[in-house]
Amino acid sequence: MKKIGVAILGLGVVGGGTYEILCSHREFYRHTQNVDLEVVCVLEPDRKRTDALGVGAEKIAENIFEVVSNPDVNVVVECIGGVTQSRQYVLDALNAGKTVVTSNKELLCKYFHELEGVARRVNAGLYFEATCAGGVPVVRTLIDAVQSNVIPSFEGIVNGTTNYILTKMKEGLSFEEALSEAKTLGYAEADASADLDGLDAAYKLSILASLAFHTKVPFTKIYREGIRGIESEDIQEGCGLGYTLKLFAVGRQTEHGVDVRVHPAFVEKGHPLASVDGCLNAVCLNGDSVGEIVLTGKGAGALPTGSAVVSDILYAATHDGHRYSTFKNTATADKEVKFISDFESKYYLRLLVPASADATAVTALAKNNIAVRKLLRKTDGDQTSVILVTDTAHESAMKKALSRMRTSGIEVGAVIRILA
Amino acid sequence: MKKIGVAILGLGVVGGGTYEILCSHREFYRHTQNVDLEVVCVLEPDRKRTDALGVGAEKIAENIFEVVSNPDVNVVVECIGGVTQSRQYVLDALNAGKTVVTSNKELLCKYFHELEGVARRVNAGLYFEATCAGGVPVVRTLIDAVQSNVIPSFEGIVNGTTNYILTKMKEGLSFEEALSEAKTLGYAEADASADLDGLDAAYKLSILASLAFHTKVPFTKIYREGIRGIESEDIQEGCGLGYTLKLFAVGRQTEHGVDVRVHPAFVEKGHPLASVDGCLNAVCLNGDSVGEIVLTGKGAGALPTGSAVVSDILYAATHDGHRYSTFKNTATADKEVKFISDFESKYYLRLLVPASADATAVTALAKNNIAVRKLLRKTDGDQTSVILVTDTAHESAMKKALSRMRTSGIEVGAVIRILA
């Protein structure tokens, strides 16, 4: 039976979950995978964490050199987070010929190609299922299960924190109440900015789009809008129109270029991702042969994400001589790619219209060739508000129309895209 | 660039789809997978099929010996169906050292271990993603993505024909009308018995349960009930109670043994598989670490199933030196397994009760320790019918209770299990 020694860097949520699974399932993997996975050492300066997991003192490494120079270590798991230390440690591990499994989406997204280049050069493995959508096996599916397909587009709900908040807002809570509840339940960190502003989702989108489109999709090319500006009122209005609001990561290959973006959007209630609520994550992949595939599961948490890490370790352990790589054909990887910023969408608008500017909103849209699908006028005392649903339009056209409205005294209460 | 020669046996729906994808995507795979997949030959006696696909005469093999003796053939794709000829051909291919990719669930389910034994002995690959749930990558997920988990249970909608029929019955059609529509649309074959009687689903369950439970799950151990006995009336009644009816393939590891069955069952409308309608397939896997993962997609059709076949070919082509096997630890594979037949379930009953036997039904259940959750009495002229929803009970207890009711003059209109 093959013996694989594992080192874990960082025993936070994911590192801790990985440690627990490896310890509790060792016999199971011996039986079912014919592999003996042993945690040889951990690198974690916080004794509270090592004590809580019952890590023996003999397994606690002093520094990264001790880890990567240990001949019994075959796989190094990086769960530290951040990019400075983690990048150096991953490079050290790869350069020592160790297979690396990481759950660090920021690191992977920002240094994907540097790390992959090193892995390729030294013939070491680099695995990262846990970076995207927690326990949902979307990386493995893209690489090993729908690789026979051209993927013209995909969309995902890849951030559990914001999905939880939007679900609670649908149930009637305000943004602040929902955020506070998410913090209490441990679904949001004290500083939830990376989630709320769509950063976390954009890291994942960069990785997923690179895999799906076989091209480099730098984080900086992703249009990004978070959920801080969303009001419960619009979620309820949308509900009445048959829509559900979600924070989407969207990737599309268009004839004009690659379109990658993270923003809140309405989808019709029949959409495969409309009913993915709470902390769940889900990705809908559209393949040219297979059609639509939807993967749903827990997007975060110690054991679900740890499950993805350990599956990567087992994959590396049982795929002898297989060096995992994102770009099997390096020529393709260096192809110049065009990205589009002026993407198309349908829109939901909520406008506060003074009596004097009654027809202005529709005129402003018409002047920019944007057709109106639905119009709902609501009067509440002196205040007239108008809800508009438009046909597909370019962002640039919508911006011009909105600017025209504003100069005519219309207050734009909300602009929310509708995903077709 | 590695060159892989492919031979396709049988150009029916799946074989034809595979041929089409391989021809149209050859350049794409050269770019993205660094592999040149060429269809070297096909074995298909029907000239109408080869003509329709534009297969050149030079690519049409005369017999299996021509195929397996061709040194340019690396991978043999078996899409013939049936078990006699296909088994011999697959054995011939494996014995010639060719990697085999099959979409034939009946063959794999009935000769899984013979074929795997030969593949192991000659060190050839044996791949079968396309046998289960068409384009839904459930085989790859079980083997390569949730292999870090103990899977205590899973349930799936793995037959598109019956799911289409049940969806149409929910919309108001009778069984006969829905079946006829399915045939017109090509979703059901002229002889739809294998679908309607749950055979097709049981083949798939045998394969999925073997993978999920790391044990041999022979087809003959599966309890099987089809959808012929289902009446629209009960689908509607269930709907009113908050249930949706589906044909489920269920696998559970219990303390008393392995519980594997195919039967129609109600689930609550919030269940992750309740809204999987029409021809879609879906599988819900419950892992001890990852929790619930749901995979949804097209369960049949030339291109979706062809996509699964071609993904297997690419997987084989890009995983050098990796010999795929179901049981990495052969000792585990030969373990004695206990199967349970007296499984537990909640039940929906529709009873036609004469006035003289008013309390008999509930008494019959109570005598067998089955508690009633809901009771709805309906009177239509002389006819009183009673809908009952029970708590969890053993099949054996329910059988006794039903027998007692029948001897008391109660007509049992419907007995449908409810999946918890």
Digits of tens for pLDDT over chain B (420 positions)? 999 999 999 999 999 999 999 999 999 999 999 999 999 999 999 999 999 999 999 999 999 999 999 999 999 999 999 999 999 999 999 999 999 999 999 999 999 989 989 998 998 899 999 999 999 999 999 999 999 999 999 999 999 999 999 999 999 999 999 999 999 998 888 899 999 999 999 999 999 999 999 988 999 999 999 999 999 999 999 999 999 999 999 999 999 999 999 999 999 999 999 999 999 999 999 999 999 999 999 998 999 999 999 999 999 998 865 555 555 555 555 667 899 989 999 999 999 988 777 688 889 999 999 999 999 988 877 778 999 999 999 999 999 999 999 998 999 999 999 998
| Residues B13 and B95 grouped into a single domain | yes
H/E stretch holding A24: helix A13-24
Asked whether the beta carbons of residue A319 and residue B319 sit closer than 8 angstroms, the reply is yes
Q: State whether A105 and A15 are in the same domain.
A: yes
Q: Find residues 314-373 of chain B whose CB sits inside 8 Å of chain A.
A: 314-315, 318-322, 328-329, 331-332
pLDDT at residue B128, rounded to an integer: 95
Q: What interhelical angle do B360-367 and B395-407 show, nearest 10?
A: 150
DSSP A12: S
Judge if A282 and A155 occupy the same domain: yes
Residues of A in contact with B318 (CB under 8 A): 322, 328
Identify the burial level of A231 via C-beta atoms within 10 angstroms of its C-beta, where 0-12 means exposed, 13-18 middle and 19 or more buried.
middle
* A-B contacts at Cβ under 8 angstroms: 182
CA R_g for chain B: 24
Does residue B111 sit in the same domain as residue B145? no
Residue A77 near residue A101 (C-beta atoms within 8 A): yes
**Chain B residues close to A34, C-beta within 8 Å:** 328-329
The secondary structure of residue B294, as a DSSP letter, is E
* Main-chain dihedrals φ then ψ at residue B257, nearest 5 degrees: 145, -175
pLDDT in tens, A359-369: 888 899 999 99
Name every chain A residue with its beta carbon within 8 A of the beta carbon of B304. Answer: 289-291
CA dihedral (B302, B300, B81, B19) in degrees, to 10, reads 20
Question: What chain B residue is nearest to A212 in terms of C-alpha separation?
Answer: B32
Tokens, residue A333: 């990887």
Q: Which residue of B has its CA nearest to A320?
A: B322
**Residues of B catalogued as catalytic:** 204
Q: Torsion over CA of A206, A210, A212 and A215, rounded to 10 degrees?
A: 140
- A12 and A89 inside one domain: yes
CB-CB neighbors (< 8 A) of A321 in chain B = 320-322
Helices A84-95 and A105-122 sit at what angle, rounded to 10 degrees? Answer: 20
Shortest distance between the Cα of A397 and any Cα of chain B, in A, equals: 35
Residue of B nearest to A211 (CA): B32
pLDDT of residue A323: 56
* Interface contact B31-A310, CB threshold 8 A: no
Contact present, A112 and A220 (Cβ < 8 Å): no
- Cβ pair B90, B200 in contact under 8 A: no
Decide if A289 touches B, using CB distance below 8 A: yes
Q: What is the ipTM of this complex?
A: 0.95
Same domain for A142 and A125?
Answer: no
Residue tagged active-site, from A204, A216, A246, A346: A204
CA nearest to A20 within chain B: B289
Instruction: Report pLDDT for A84.
Output: 96
Establish if B178 belongs to a structural domain: yes
| pLDDT at position B420 | 83
Say which of A34, A146, A272 has its CB closest to residue B311. Answer: A146
pTM to 2 decimal places: 0.95
Minimal Cα distance from B297: which residue of A? A293
Q: Which residues of chain A have a pLDDT value below 70?
A: 320-335, 358
pLDDT of amino acid A336: 75
Task: Answer for the pair B246, B157: CB distance below 8 angstroms, yes or no.
Answer: yes
pLDDT computed for residue A145 by the predictor: 95
Asked whether the beta carbons of residue A290 and residue B296 sit closer than 8 angstroms, the reply is no
Distance in Å, alpha carbon of B328 to nearest chain A alpha carbon: 5
Dist CA A140 CA A132 (whole Å): 10
Residue A226 backbone phi and psi in degrees, to 5? -95, -160
**Is there a domain that residue A226 lies in?**
yes
Task: Say if residue B309 is in the same domain as residue B277.
Answer: no
**Closest CA relative to residue A281, chosen from A305, A270, A297, A262:** A297
The per-residue pLDDT for B322 is 53
CB contact set of A418 (below 8 Å; sequence gap of 6+): A243, A265, A266, A267, A345, A346, A347, A348, A389
The 10 Å CB-count burial string (b at 16+, else e) for A236-264 is ebbeebebbbbbbbbbbbeeebbbbbbbb
Which class for A220: exposed (0-12), middle (13-18), buried (19 or more C-beta within 10 A)? Answer: exposed
Closest by CA to A332, choosing from B37, B313, B314, B35, is B35
- Establish if B356 belongs to a structural domain: yes
**Secondary element (H or E) of residue A217:** none
Residue B409: partners with Cβ closer than 8 Å, 6 or more residues away: B354, B356, B357, B360
Name residues 20-79 of chain A within 8 A of B (Cβ). 21, 25, 28-35
Name the closest residue on chain A to residue B32, using Cα atoms. A329
Interface test with B, best of A77, A101, A144 (most B CBs within 10 A): A144
- Give the integer Cα–Cα distance in Å for B7 and B102: 12
CA distance B273 to chain A (A): 11
CATH number for the domain including A6? 3.40.50.720
Q: B360 and B293: one domain?
A: no
The DSSP code for B204 is: H
Does A338 map to a domain? no
Contact assignment for B328 to A318 by CB distance below 8 Å: yes
Shortest distance between the Cα of A294 and any Cα of chain B, in A, equals: 5
Q: Contact B296/A294, CB-based, under 8 Å?
A: yes
Provide the CA B407 distance to its chain's centre, in angstroms: 37
List, as ranges, residues 204-233 from A with C-beta within 8 Å of B: 214
The whole-number pLDDT of residue A320 equals: 66
Hunting for tokens 């809901």 — which residue is that? B374
Is A21 contained in some domain?
Answer: yes
User: Looking at the partner chain, which of A149, A304, A310 has a beta carbon nearest the beta carbon of B307?
Assistant: A149
The label of the residue with tokens 């022979």 reads B218
Q: Please tell me the distance in Å from A379's CA to the nearest CA on chain B.
A: 37
Please tell me the distance in Å from A103's CA to the nearest CA on chain B: 15
Do B259 and B395 contact (CB within 8 A), yes or no? Answer: no
SS3 B162: helix
Whole-angstrom Cα Rg for chain A: 24
**How far apart, in Å, are the Cα atoms of A117 and each of A209, A335, B278, B403?**
19, 16, 45, 71
Domain that holds residue A258: 138-299
Across the interface, which of B295, B314, B322 has its CB nearest the CB of A319? B322
A73 in a structural domain: yes
A312: closest CA of chain B, how far (Å): 8
Q: Which among A333, A353, A388 is the end of a domain?
A: A333
User: Are A148 and B307 in contact (CB < 8 Å)?
Assistant: yes
d(CA A287, CA A281): 20
- Cβ of B293 under 8 Å from any chain A Cβ? yes
Contact of B87 with B94, CB cutoff 8 Å? no
Residue A293: which CATH number? 3.30.360.10
Instruction: Give the model's pLDDT for residue A354.
Output: 83
Q: Are residues B221 and B279 in the same domain?
A: yes
Instruction: Based on the fold, state whether residues B325 and B388 are members of the same structural domain.
Output: no
Residue B291 forms contact with A (CB below 8 Å)? yes
Residue B274 lies in a domain: yes
Residues paired with A348 in a beta bridge:
A389, A416
| Beta carbons within 8 Å of A245's beta carbon, 6+ residues apart | A166, A169, A170, A230, A234, A235, A238, A264, A265, A266, A416
Alpha-helix residue ranges (DSSP H) falling in A105-188: 105-122, 138-144, 160-170, 175-184
Alpha carbon distances (Å) from A109 to A83, A114, A131, A217: 10, 10, 9, 9
Q: A150 touching B, CB under 8 A?
A: yes
Length of chain B: 420
Establish if B123 touches chain A: CB-CB under 8 angstroms.
Answer: no
Sign of torsion, CA A192 A194 A198 A204?
negative
CA A155 – CA A141 distance, rounded (Å): 14
- Between B25, B314, B332, which is nearest A31 by CB? B332
Query: How many residues does the structure list for chain A?
Result: 420
- The tokens of A236 are what? 């309820």
Q: What is the nearest CA distance from A417 to chain B, expressed in angstroms? A: 26
Q: Say whether B129 and A135 touch across the interface (CB within 8 A).
A: no
Q: What tokens were used for A49?
A: 């964490």
Q: In terms of CA atoms, which chain B residue is nearest residue A309?
A: B148
Do A318 and A249 lie in one domain? The reply is no
Cα–Cα distance, B19 to B32 (Å, whole number): 19
The residues near A361 (Cβ < 8 Å, ≥ 6 apart) are A349, A351, A353, A386, A388, A405, A410
Buried b (16+ CB within 10 A) or exposed e, A313-330: bbbbbbbeeebbbbbbbe
Residue A142 near residue A284 (C-beta atoms within 8 A): no
What is the Cα–Cα distance from B95 to B73, expressed in whole angstroms? 13
Which of chain A's residues have a Cβ under 8 Å away from the Cβ of B145?
A: 129, 137, 140-141, 311
Would you state the pLDDT for residue A329? Answer: 56
Which of B93, B92, B44 is CA-nearest to residue B73?
Answer: B93
Q: Determine, for residues A328 and B294 on separate chains, whether the beta-carbon distance falls below 8 Å.
A: no
The closest alpha carbon to A68, from A92, A41, A38, A42, belongs to A92
- Widest distance between CA atoms in chain A: 81
Q: Chain A residue closest to B270 (CA)? A: A275
CATH of the domain at A395: 3.30.70.260
**Cβ contact B310–A214 (<8 Å):** no
Query: Do B171 and B269 lie in a common domain?
Result: yes
Closest CA–CA distance from residue A327 to any residue of chain B (Å): 7
Closest-CA residue in chain B for A140?
Answer: B145
Residues 166-195 of A with CB under 8 A from B: none
B339 occurs within a structural domain: no
CB interface of B with A, residues 233-272, below 8 Å: 272
Torsion of CA B224, B225, B227, B232, to 10 degrees: -140
Tally of structural domains, chain B: 3
Of B123, B122, B130, B139, the C-alpha closest to B106 is B130
Q: Which ranges of A123-145 would DSSP assign to H, the alpha helix?
A: 138-144
The model's pLDDT over A90-113, given as tens digits with 9 standing for 90+, comes to 999 999 999 999 999 999 999 988
